[in-house]
Structure 1
């Protein structure tokens, strides 16, 4: 899919389909078809492929070719089934256009065009659009971190509040908290990639327009750094809650093992009595006693009661 926008006044307006890309200030390629890639490359640009965008080497993610600056970052998203996704997004900054290339659908790319005029960067140039989109992405990551914090609050509430009946299925709670830890790792990686892209964007810009953009770059960088600290704090909470859940699992297993051990000890003395009188010897004492069965049964019951009272006295029950 291809979306094209033009700056009109203090807002961005989508161009009618099929758009005239020469008039566009922002071209957004989402899972582009070959003909759409060819239309953009007809402007003298080289559109990176998904394989190029997934390169691990930093030099292949953040680079300049001619007068085009290519910044590739990793961003989270959700599929139609609300399952988390994470993938690269490339920003191509030319002297007069911004081109974005993506193969998944982060929410800021849907919400930003509707209120691009209300962010702090404004819509004066395509570079302002880039910083405005970065601000929208950072705000989205802040919302996602806040959602993780609320989930951890709920998990902690179920674990620690004595007025709330604790979940018996601790394994499900452990999986839930563990999934939040994975989400945090993705969000933190997105923040770090955004910070690195902004650092590269801010280097070497000495023109009048670029000097006016520096406060916006610094503001976004400070926001990202604050969110990285918050993500680290939430990661610590995930580790803490995980340790508590594992501790409770251990306590429950210990209590179960203690109950099994006590039951086994209770039945050990009567088993011993029954074993003695079950021996196959001819001259077994008491074997011919008229009340032998009752005496043996009484010994077994007495041993059970005696063991139970002893365990209670020792505080094991």
Structure 2
């Protein structure tokens, strides 16, 4: 899928949808071309503009030299962002930004929400959207804001889970809470990776700003974004520590619930031990057992068993074991 945009006096305008044979007709006018799971024809159309579109395998290379480099005046930056697959699965995947003086090309194979929300908010970002460089910084600002929203949502979820765990949660609720905390921990890991790669990309971009015509105007914007990323990274670390604390609290409550169950079973076993001993004694087949021939023998044995159980219960209660 290919989306192309050009700037207007107010915001970005999306160029019309083209067929595969006409797809390159308006691309020369585009300041931003967004490729989402691109078709071969779309890759060829963008390549005709002098932009080499990396494959997913190229984008997934972990070497920093493959993710951040400058070639013939074009900055290529690949970051890892959380998003969704077409099936709705939440993943973390690579997104490449190919920035030249003529246009910005983004390549992605999953759907970070920022790419859907940015076109409508482009004019309200700090950088604006008059040039490809400003579109790049505005898109990064939208992505950073999205990570902030995800962190805020994760914090609220952890608050709710902690309240349930420390309240009167039942064992099944504790199990569900543990699963929810695990999901939030995984999400925080994806956000932390996104912030790390964004910080690297902006640091690389900041080093190349000297060659940009508007480098003096854009550098403060890039610096401000890096400060925002640093602040979000600190917040992410705080929430990660809360995840660990909530997991420990949940496991502790589960252990307490299990210990209480084992304690009850132990007490019940101890209460029935003296009656069992008495019943075992009267079940022995000795010839000389006078009580067996007496009419009061059976009631006497039953009363003795009940009395022994009651005395055991009273002793445990006196010791405050119940």
| TM tier relative to shorter chain | over 0.9
Q: What is aligned with 1:307?
A: 312
Distance (Å, rounded) in 1 between the aligned partners of 2:87 and 2:31: 33
Are the counterparts in 2 of residues 122 and 128 from structure 1 also a CA contact under 8 Å?
yes
What residue is the counterpart of 1:14 in the other structure?
A: 14
CA distance in 2, matches of 1:153, 1:81: 29
User: 1:171 matched to which residue of 2?
Assistant: 175
Consecutive unaligned residues of structure 2, counting only runs of 5 or more, are 19-24
Partner Cα distance (2:145, 2:129) in 1: 18
Candidates 218, 224, 232, aligned match of 1:219 = 224
Q: Map 1:122-271 onto structure 2 (within 5 A).
A: 122-160=128-166, 165-169=168-172, 170-207=174-211, 208-271=213-276
Per the TM alignment, residue 85 of structure 1 is displaced from its structure 2 partner at its CA by 2.2
Residue 282, structure 1, aligned to residue 291, structure 2: no
Residue matched to 2:94: 88
Distance 1:69 1:144 in 2: 28
CA distance in 2, matches of 1:167, 1:144: 28
Go from structure 1 to structure 2 and tell me whether the alpha carbon gap of 1:16 and 1:82 turns closer, same or farther (over 3 Å shift): closer
Which residue among 32, 37, 43 is the counterpart of 1:31? Answer: 37
Q: Is the 8 A contact 2:171 2:254 kept in 1?
A: no
Superposition deviation, residue 285 in structure 1: 4.8
Q: Secondary structure of 2:5's match?
A: strand
Q: What is the Cα deviation at residue 10 of structure 1?
A: 4.5
Offset of 1:168 from its aligned partner? Answer: 4.2
Contact 1:158 1:167 in 2 (8 A): no
Note the alpha carbon deviations across 1:245-264, whole angstroms, 9 max, x for none.
Answer: 11110111111001000000
Counterpart secondary structure, 2:252: helix
Aligned twin of 1:109: 115
Q: CA RMSD in A?
A: 1.6
Counterpart Cα distance in 2 of 1:205 and 1:112: 23
Instruction: Look up the SS of the partner of 2:92 in the other structure.
Output: strand
CA distance in 1, matches of 2:203, 2:305: 81
Contact kept? 2:5, 2:30, Cα under 8 Å: yes
How many angstroms apart in 2 are the aligned matches of 1:153 and 1:86? Answer: 25
> Do 1:10 and 1:124's aligned partners in 2 also have CA atoms closer than 8 Å?
no
CA drift of 1:113 comes to 1.1
**What is the distance in 2 between the residues matched to 1:307 and 1:63?**
79
SS at match of 1:275: helix
Number of residues of Structure 1 aligned to a counterpart in Structure 2 = 314
- Larger CA deviation: 53-62 vs 129-138: 53-62
Q: Is the 8 A contact 1:69 1:93 kept in 2?
A: yes
Q: Is the 8 A contact 2:165 2:253 kept in 1?
A: no
8 Å contact 2:83–2:112 — kept in the other structure? yes
Contact 1:7 1:123 in 2 (8 A): yes
Q: TM-score with structure 1 length normalisation?
A: 0.94
Partner-residue secondary structure (3-state), 1:287: helix
Deviations 1:82-128 (A, max 9, x none): 54222111000123111000111111111111121111001231001
- Specify which of 20, 45, 48 is matched with residue 42 of structure 1: 48
* Structure 1 spans left out of the alignment, 5+ residues: none
